[in-house]
Chain A
Amino acid sequence: MFGKKRVAIVGAGLTLFRRNLKETGKELAYEAAKMALDASGLELRDIQTVVMGTAPDAFDGVHMKGEYLADGAGARGKPYVRVFVGGGTGVFTPLAGWWHVASGQFDTCLVVCEEKMSSCFPHPAYAFTTIFDNILARPLGTTLIWIFALEMHRYMHKHNLKKEQIARVAVKNKKNALDHPCAQLGANITVEDVLNSEVLCWPVQRLDISPTSDGAAALVLASEDVAKKITDNPVWIDGVGWCIDSTLWTNRDLYYPDYVEYAARMAYRMAGIKNPPKEIDLAEPYDPFDYKELHHMEGLLLCRKGEAPKLTEEGVTQRDGDLPICPSGGLLGVGNPIAAAGLMKVCEVFWQLRGEAGKRQVPGDPRTGLAQAWGDLMQYGSVIILRR
């Protein structure tokens, strides 16, 4: 056992994901936090500490967004911290919650993630223009999509992949999302629809990419003593891992995310997992673009390098396949309010392991699941392993 105390998830909450929601960021945080508390049977006064995750201040347009959101996340008068590792935040936040409890300092912790991207107009992608190197990249008019297009193209080139093979991920995830009550973009589409959609930055087309969204998600964590008192079916956080690569993405091979592998190895070691494809029953890798699901399956060691497209083609990653990937519908289908989207994946694994995923439930009584998020400048991996 790594931490002093074993830590359980005892409740989860999720708002709708939509392009424009009327609620303020604080109100979204509140909706998710309240739902998670109600699900756990605890009240706010039972919560000893709050950990908040939210991505760049520039989305909501509020500097010190962590402080701004604190009261909506139920943190007033409590020990509180906001953590931020770009797109990796949504899975990193429950990791930070975990160490608050595993350390023995707290018995209960509320974890909340929020993003309100619609405040930033004409398009929140504009807020990303200032994440690039000020000297070497910004003068060229860098956009977020084209650096991902460079990475996707290199991945395709390295493994000799066709767009068709990658588009299947978008088809699968948007279809899965039809069964998710919070989803923004559930749809029945075909590979041809993806290939015929507007070209944004070749090879990235409109339907390869997740939308911008507003939304929030939350979890209640408890120490083993408390968890056993309040629920018969806690879900344990048995593995955590995180890792960063250089921000100079020009100095990476781009076709393989080493930093995700290092984060995954850390989490597998802690959970005692030796053979990930056999021991992981379902996974929610980060899928802001369809190719990223494949990239991340490989980085998570769920298959060999270059093998993820083949598994997708063979149906292995479908909800009823041998290794269900993104049964929620992922970011491509449910939506992508950055930090909240990552935590949505952890919520999904929690519900799947409790048998509470409704129409999305994967068969076979899953016992072990994994969620992963990815972010900063294509450089951050955060991984969590849950067990029933």
Chain B
Amino acid sequence: MSLEKITDPRNMKHWLGHMETDYRYTLGIAGERFLNEIKENARIMGSKCKKCGVIYVPPRMYCEECFEKLEEWVDLGINGEVYTYTVAYLDREGKRLAEPVIYALITFGDAFGGLVHKLGEVKPEEVWIGMPVEAVFKPPYERKGSITDIKYFKPIQ
């Protein structure tokens, strides 16, 4: 058992390795329709279980409660509410961000679940849990069927 405290791992004999693997992730049945609605129609959709009545957001292809296949889609509008939020000061590699980023979980009325996204046009100290927000979309020609087609959510004035 090595007892000394090693603070710099480069001081140990080592071999530098890399596990490079790239992936192509399909959006899936429900995901493709959900993101396509954002891209083409700038609207946020949920999928509804006929049996349980539950509306899932983000929409899913099946109901996790009863295993029904979900084929009914519901327009949830673009307005939601901040359920919880955080202010991130670090990036994914642990480096300090130039400007902090506000991330929030946004819920939509009675729909089950919510979307995690950034908040914009608001300062960290102005955000509160329960705050009404609306989606701000990129212009149509910039949208490509990604969750980032929504730029951020902003407070409803």
Does B53 count as interface, using CB distance less than 8 angstroms? no
Nearest-neighbour CB distance to chain A for B90, whole angstroms, equals 6
CB-CB nearest in chain B for A31: B1
Q: Are B27 and A135 in contact, CB atoms less than 8 angstroms apart? A: yes
CB-CB nearest in chain A for B64: A246
Digit string of A336-368 for contact with B (CB within 8 Å is 1, else 0)? 000000000000000000000000000000000
Complex Cα distance A126/B60, Å? 28
Q: Which residues of B contact A192 (CB under 8 A)?
A: none
Complex Cα distance A18/B3, Å? 10
A residues 10-28 near B (Cβ < 8 Å) are 15-16, 18-23
Digit string of B1-19 for contact with A (CB within 8 Å is 1, else 0)? 1110111110010000101
Q: Which residues of B contact A129 (CB under 8 A)?
A: 92
CB-CB nearest in chain B for A144: B92
Given contacts A118-B9, A250-B58, A251-B112, contact A126 B93 (CB under 8 A): yes
Size of the B side of the interface (Cβ < 8 Å), in residues, is: 49
Given contacts A23-B1, A139-B147, contact A250 B115 (CB under 8 A): yes
B residues 65-109 near A (Cβ < 8 Å) are 83-94, 101, 103-105
Given contacts A143-B90, A146-B86, contact A135 B7 (CB under 8 A): no
Digit string of A124-153 for contact with B (CB within 8 Å is 1, else 0)? 011001000011110111110111011101
Q: Are B89 and A150 in contact, CB atoms less than 8 angstroms apart? A: no
Q: Are A140 and B118 in contact, CB atoms less than 8 angstroms apart? A: yes
Q: Which residues of A contact B12 (CB under 8 A)?
A: 20, 22
CB-CB nearest in chain A for B130: A157
B residues 1-59 near A (Cβ < 8 Å) are 1-3, 5-9, 12, 17, 19, 23, 25, 27-28, 31, 35, 56, 58
Cβ contacts A to B, 30 pairs, < 8 Å: A16-B1, A20-B6, A20-B9, A21-B2, A22-B12, A61-B19, A135-B28, A135-B31, A135-B147, A136-B58, A137-B147, A139-B147, A139-B148, A140-B118, A141-B101, A143-B90, A143-B92, A146-B86, A150-B116, A153-B129, A154-B83, A200-B88, A200-B89, A201-B88, A201-B89, A201-B103, A204-B86, A248-B60, A250-B113, A254-B84
Residues of A within 8 A of B (CB): 15-16, 18-23, 31, 58, 61, 63, 118, 121-123, 125-126, 129, 134-137, 139-143, 145-147, 149-151, 153-154, 157, 198-204, 246, 248, 250-251, 254
